Amino acid sequence: MSRNDELSLLNLQTKEIRSNPYPFYEQLRKHDPIHWDEEFGFWVLTRYSDIDALYTDDRFSRAQGLMRGFERLSPTEKQLAEPVYQSFSKTVFYADPPYHTHLRGLMNHAFTPRRVERLRPLFKRS
C-alpha cells in the first residue's frame, strides 16, 4: 500500500481506525497536512490555519468541490447519491455567495446572542 493509500479517508471505514480515529488524524496532519485523497477525489486539509485561509479565499468554491465529487461517481452511484448531494448543496457549508450569504443572514437572525441564551437551559446537562 502506498503512502497515499495509507492516508486516504477511506481508511476511516476500517473497524480499527473507526474505533479510535485520532492516531490516523495525527498521522495525516503530521505527514501530509494538505492531502490529495485520490480515492475520494478531493483535498483534505487538517490544520486550522489552512482551513481558515481556504474559507476566506474567493478563488475556492465549496459548491464546485461538492459537484466534482458527485461527477466522479458511476451512473448507478450517482442515482443513489443524488438525493444526498442535492440536500448537501442546500446547506451553508457547501454554499457559495450569494446563496451562502443569504443562509448566513437567516442563521444570524435566528441565533442572536439573546436567543441562544434563552435556549441554553434546554441544552445544559442535568
**What is the biggest distance separating any 2 CA atoms in the chain, rounded to whole angstroms?**
53
Per-residue CA distances from 59 to 1, 13, 98 (Å): 34, 32, 15
pLDDT of residue 125: 66
pLDDT of residue 106: 95
pLDDT mean for each 10 residues of the chain (126 residues):
71 92 96 90 91 86 83 90 90 90 94 92 75
pLDDT of residue 101: 92
Q: What pTM did the predictor assign?
A: 0.58
Cell of 79: 442515482
Q: Spell out the domain ranges in the chain.
A: 1-60, 73-126
To 5 degrees, how large is the angle CA 28–CA 69–CA 58?
80
